Amino acid sequence: MKRILLPALALLLLLSACGSPESPVEPSLSPSPSAVPAGGLSRYSASFLTLFDTVTNIVGYAEGEEAFSDMVQDIHDELEEYHQLYDIYNEYEGINNLKTVNDNAGGEPVEVDQKIIDLLLFSREMYEATGGATNVAMGAVLSIWHDAREYSINNPEDAYVPAIEELEAAAEHTDFSCIIIDDENNTVQITDPEASLDVGAIAKGYAVEMVCRNAPDNFLVSVGGNVRPTSPKPEDDGRWIVGIESSDGSSDFLHTLYIEDLCVVTSGDYQRYYICNGVRYHHIIDPETLFPPDLWRSVTILCPDSGISDALSTALFTLTQEEGQELLDKFGAEAMWVTHDGEKLYSPGFEQYIRS
């Protein structure tokens, strides 16, 4: 058995095996021998690698392996639907997704699935609530950084940083008001031909939230570190244990947490990044400076809603602790900030969830 560490957050799960990218809907399953059956339920785990460009881990309790496999299949299929709809890079036959919307920027409205409408309405709410710190209309700027990061990772000797003039020109096309969402006719229109959507700061957490609301009880789902229980754990005292991965690359956890009905989401500067002239440039971009912020190594959010947690983790990464706390108070959420020298700072209620 082995412990699987996710990119931003590690689940404390004992996994017997991982599914391969070639067979994502048929993950390897077996009861964990360390788990004690709870009320006739046994503990199982599964993993697959093809959704949202990250690792999905699921642990849950079921009456048998076949029942668990069927439930995991349903969770996978629903996540896959969200993945395809929210993809901005790839096309899928018979689907108008966010790439379709971006490709038609400046043109006519595009008819889309209700799941896209709902995501964008939620994104607008979070844009307004965060004062623009979480903005899915930042695609014009984020695409410049994406190209720089991809090229620099593959060509480290020629790594480069985008010119501020290019970023400022792109930032002229990031106003959320150019995204016209017609809920009645299920259409989306981008009126600015130079604007585009990038929902990376919010889509994964939102999809996890929507899927877990429909999933059976007794499951803990993690998609790339966006962790959400579908109910309290059906044994012991009902609390799941989740570990927050260290930002220094060590195998130690910053903390392990007890959760029952809270989501756990972490944003950090230590996964998607590149080095140029000795400086680390990570993937989170401050809408004000148009550059990666340098306030924190990581921010971890505790909140009942995974979509809100995802949006808050991005927003707080660009804000001071005082500004971030004001935002947390709006949603009744908690946070832990980690500074560049490793100091951990907490919102008033965070520490009650710490196990170790």
Residue 7 lies in a domain: no
Q: Is the CA virtual torsion 276, 283, 78, 263 positive or negative?
A: positive
Asked if the structure places residue 286 within a domain, the reply is no
Average pLDDT, the chain: 89
21 half-sphere exposure, CB direction, 13 A CA radius: 7
* Residue 243, pLDDT above cutoff 90: yes
Q: What is the pLDDT of residues 287-335, one digit of tens each?
A: 999 999 999 999 999 999 999 999 999 999 999 999 999 999 999 999 9
Share of the chain above pLDDT 70, in %: 88
Say if residue 100's pLDDT is above 60: yes
Assign 293 to helix, strand or coil: coil
The answer to the question of residue 122 being in a domain is: yes
Cite the DSSP H helix spans in the chain. Answer: 65-85, 98-103, 114-129, 139-154, 164-171, 203-214, 306-317, 321-331
Tell me: pLDDT of 181 over 80. yes
How many other β-carbons are positioned within 10 Å of the β-carbon of residue 341? Answer: 6
Half-sphere exposure of 189 (CA within 13 A, CB side): 9
Q: Which residues pair with 282 in a beta bridge?
A: 273
Confidence (pLDDT) at 90: 96
pTM listed for this prediction: 0.89
Evaluate whether residue 354 is within a structural domain: no
Nearest CA to 290 among 141, 133, 131?
141
Say what the pLDDT of residue 111 is.
Answer: 98
Q: Is the pLDDT of residue 33 over 50?
A: no
- Say which residue the tokens 């971030």 belong to: 324
**For 105-114, what is each residue's pLDDT tens digit?**
999 999 999 9
Confidence of residue 223 (pLDDT cuts 50, 70, 90): very high
Please give the Cα distance from 112 to 99 (Å, whole number).
Answer: 11
Q: Residue 106 CB: number of other CB atoms within 10 A?
A: 12
Work out the pLDDT band at 246, boundaries 50, 70, 90: confident
What CATH number has the domain bearing residue 119?
A: 1.10.3980.10
DSSP at 302: E
Tokens of 107: 């043109």
For residue 252, being part of any structural domain is answered with: no
pLDDT of residue 36: 53
Residue 225: pLDDT band by 50, 70, 90 thresholds? confident
152 lies in which domain range? 98-190
270-279: pLDDT as tens digits: 878 999 999 9
User: Which of 260-272 are b and which e, b meaning 16 or more Cβ less than 10 Å from the residue's Cβ?
Assistant: eebbbbbbbbbbb
Q: Domains in the chain: how many in total?
A: 1
Q: Give which of 86, 154, 149 is closest to 123, Cα–Cα.
A: 86
345: in domain: no
The predicted pLDDT at position 25 comes to 30
Give the separation between CA 252 and CA 350, rounded to whole angstroms: 20
- Kindly state whether residue 158 falls inside one of the protein's structural domains: yes
Amino acid 87 reads D
Rg of the Cα atoms in the chain: 20
Q: CB-based burial of residue 165 (10 Å sphere; 0-12 exposed, 13-18 middle, 19+ buried)?
A: exposed
Task: Establish if 156 belongs to a structural domain.
Answer: yes
With a cut of 80, say whether residue 249 has pLDDT above it.
no
Least confident of 4-13, 90-99, 249-258, 274-283: 4-13
